[in-house]
Chain A
Amino acid sequence: MDLENQTRIKELVEKVGKENVVVILGGAEAEASGLAAETVTTGDPTFAGPLTGVQLELPVYHILELKDIVPEDVWEDQISMMEMVLDVDDIIKEVTTYRTQNGG
């Protein structure tokens, strides 16, 4: 995950507490989404960013998992096309792995 984003998430958690933070990913690819999910749960696996060794254990979802709670017209405008393009099952599987590893 981008180092700037790691910093922002870390600061946000410090400010509002981890119980008030949910991470929603929009990555287009399973592996990258999995890495992002790992970063905000068990820490930065690349050992490059500020979340290295920081276990935030935040609840993390990919937007493709949240179709039910997104208003239909917004989904249609923003996501429906990519839903056709992306490997939805792979992405969800990857993100779910890290979420369940952390009991989220």
Chain B
Amino acid sequence: MTNPVVKAASYCLFHAPDMVLTHGTTLTMERAKNPDSPLFEQVQKGLRPFEGVVAYPPNQVYIGNIDPDELAQIPQPWYENLAEPKRQGKLGEIFPMDEFIAMMKIVDAFELVLIEDNFAKAVIERLQSHPLFTDEDFAILAKTQAIDEINGLLDKKTAVPLEFEGKVVGCVKRAHEYDVNLSADIMFENLAAKAGGVLSLRHLLWNNDIDPATVDYIIETSEEAAGDMNQRGGGNFAKSIGEKCGCINATGSDTRSFCAGPAHSVINATGLVKSGIYKNVVVVAGGATAKLGMNSRDHVKKEVPVLEDCMGGFALLIGADDGVNPIIRTDAIGRHRVGTGSSPQAVTTALVTDPLQAAGLSITDVDKFSVEMQNPEITVPAGAGDVPLANYKMIAALGVKQGSLERTEINSFVEEHGLKGWAPTQGHIPSGVPFVGFAREGLLNGTLKRVMIVGKGSLFLARLTNLFDGVSFIMEPNSGKGSSTTVTAEKMVTVGVTLLGSEHGVEEVVRGAELAQRKHRNIKVVAIGPKGSTSLPVVEANTEEEQRSAMENLLRTGEIDACVTMHYNFPLGVTTIGRVMAPATGREMLIASTTGMSAGNRTEAMHKNAILGVAVAKGLGIEDPEVGILNVDGALTTERSLRDLEKEGYAINWAASGRADGQAVMRGNDALTGACDVLVTDSLTGNILVKMLSALNTGGSIESVGYGYGPGVGEGYKQIVNIVSRASGAPVIAGAVEFAADMANAKLPELVEAELTKAKLIKAEAADGVQKPPAKPVDQEITGIDVLEIEDATEALWKENIYAEAGMGCTGPVVMVAPEDLEVAMAKLKELGFLGE
């Protein structure tokens, strides 16, 4: 059986000051009892601006920018000792109110959330480059309502307001006239929990390069109840969240146990993974509007800002052992049993010392305990004390009772094994799990050896039992021995895009790269180019030269799986297979080939292009592609040689021309109708075809349709580099990113190798026994060699022990060598007559 590991963790906060007043129960109860209460104004005054929320040290800890140990060093009150205000963190992000409202609209599947036009426009514009929002989201946000209509619903009391900066910008309608479980208030609360869950899960997937399609199961673990009057709490938040995150292969369900819910959910997830039922299980929760401003009465009384102004959310990925990530031990789970009793020491024994004893450990063997991690700055003014501190003291006191600690060591134990609380008082959010992300990191880098996560819940709140509840689990480093699955299998594909070189400027390429990122949540787009040009991750390169070597490095190290670039010299034998949309029918067609050369001889090249085109088609999922040959010089010879190949057992599915003869030779008309899947041609003609078909609607200067000139393919070529032209517009660049990602997923080099082998095109080693010198990076071009002699020229250099590659430059064939070899190579080539003087 596999060990369950923690593969990723994300933590998000959602600033919601207006909702403190409209949906926090402290304020809504007050409004019901005393509508003229001074409390509303006091709370309003005590609310912080977004900047203050972002700079608040505990919030910076929540999203991973400040380590919990550092927090203990920052003097309190933390609201007066602010940190650097970074809304993005290593582990999460803090979202402002308007973006959260936008997400409530995006996740609404029943037209219950209405927003007005100006608000929508502003937020759509701001979110354009946000990696967690997609074009699909913007299309939903663009469906707006007139403010009069919204006010009308509010007047009739059939909706509750969505306010931003004190102004009504929308509303949430009731989902049923009489059913209280579908009232506007309940729908508001549930849609807020769903929106927080979606943002947290999207962040988890994006920040950790996880392909959403690899998630098998989702456990949602907030504290809300979704269901109508006949099945209050029927669920299923989990699937509704997965749907909005692209988790097309996941099912899921909701798990509840008040504040202990998340810890229960993680244990359930480990069980599902350990048993092999599912490989990747997500535990996710959004926040609770009800708890906003819960202690605000005490806060304003004690002149503390209203610190409960954010909802919390988190998402964790528990997966099968990858030999790297920290494991969750399944042989030492702590649990509060029905018969345990509710005295603090019975609870602490059941949750902490019993499981440690089962594992043969004592409390001092655990580096850090994560208990209820409530921020003490929120709870102390409300008379609830410092919750984590009290918990640590209990663990230490139990240690004293059991003889593993001296009484005088209580304080030092607390300091060493405890943490300062930083989590918002959102019930399920503080319960143990906020530390899982830091624990994962510490166990990965060796600063931590063992961590215990403890979740506790108060079940009396449901008035069904007075029993207490809680569970705990232990995290430890991965021994690296138990890896049963490959890590890369569920990695999201990363595609690089080089920014420099376009005739339409860096902006157009950035638009294309960002468009691709928005359209494809299962692709991670990385820009290679000047810093500051995009919100996408950037690998800096300030010249085309630097770009090329950065791209080659990233491909070599595997940091990117594929790259989209322009003006790139492939070695001879490598050619690109373009992909266009036939203008007459919208049918997609591959053009084999469009740049580079598969062979020096024209008909040999076209013959090879057909096979390479078939390999790329298979990579796109076209199992038996129809092949046609463009009626250019050499078409009939190529057809003959392919028919000969058929006789040797290589099956070809010939296309039929739309013209009266129905032959496999395609005419210009067939290029317009897309009469075949793979159109075989020489690469110069193919190049012209792609340009014409891509720029058909723009008057020619910008290519606006299709997927570009395609990936370079050829024998022994292992990289996936997709070519676009200097005239390619944003849509074509976005298409090229998608094409490149598809090729990476399909493992194109393997497909090419297999296809070439079947077609008996894999060459034997150089016949005269010339040994290639060891490969090294080559970036110097030698031009002026005749195309028919290019391979001989390369081999001639090999004989001189100079490493060289034959390539196809923009203006013709080139031999490429390393800078230090350039001079000697030129001289040699001149001497041998390959180059003129």
Contact = CB atoms under 8 A, between A and B. Distances in A.
Interface of A: 28-29, 31-32, 35, 77-82, 84-85
Nearest to A34: B383
A78 B401 CA distance: 12
B384 A29 contact: yes
A82 B394 contact: yes
A32 B345 contact: no
9 contacts: A28-B390, A29-B383, A80-B345, A81-B397, A82-B344, A82-B394, A84-B407, A84-B410, A85-B393
Most buried by B among A28, A32, A81, A85: A81
Nearest to A33: B383
B345 A81 contact: yes
Contacts of A28: 385, 390
A82 B383 CA distance: 18
A25 to B, nearest CB: 13
B815 to A, nearest CB: 79
A84 B383 contact: no
B584 to A, nearest CB: 75
A42 B398 CA distance: 37
Interface residues of B, number: 17
Contacts of B343: 77-79, 82
B390 A85 contact: yes
Given A29-B384, A77-B343, A84-B407, 6 more contacts: A77-B346, A81-B344, A81-B401, A82-B344, A84-B393, A84-B410
Interface of B: 343-346, 348, 383-385, 390, 393-394, 397-398, 400-401, 407, 410
Given A29-B385, A32-B384, A84 B344 contact: no
A84 B397 contact: yes
Contacts of B394: 81-82, 85
A66 B704 CA distance: 84
A91 to B, nearest CB: 11
Residues of A contacting B: mostly:
helix
A57 B407 CA distance: 39
A80 B401 contact: yes
A80 B410 CA distance: 15
Contacts of B345: 77-78, 80-82
B209 to A, nearest CB: 44
A31 B346 contact: no
B398 A81 contact: yes
A32 B298 CA distance: 12
6 smallest CB-CB distances across A and B, nearest first, come from A81-B345, A84-B397, A85-B393, A78-B343, A32-B383, A29-B385
Contacts of B346: 77-78
A77 B400 CA distance: 14
A53 to B, nearest CB: 16
B384 A84 contact: no
Contacts of A32: 383-385
B716 to A, nearest CB: 69
Nearest to B383: A32
A35 B344 contact: no
Nearest to B407: A84
Nearest to B389: A85
A82 B346 CA distance: 11
A81 B383 contact: no
Most buried by A among B345, B348, B398: B345
Contact of A85 (B383, B384, B397): B397
A85 B394 CA distance: 6
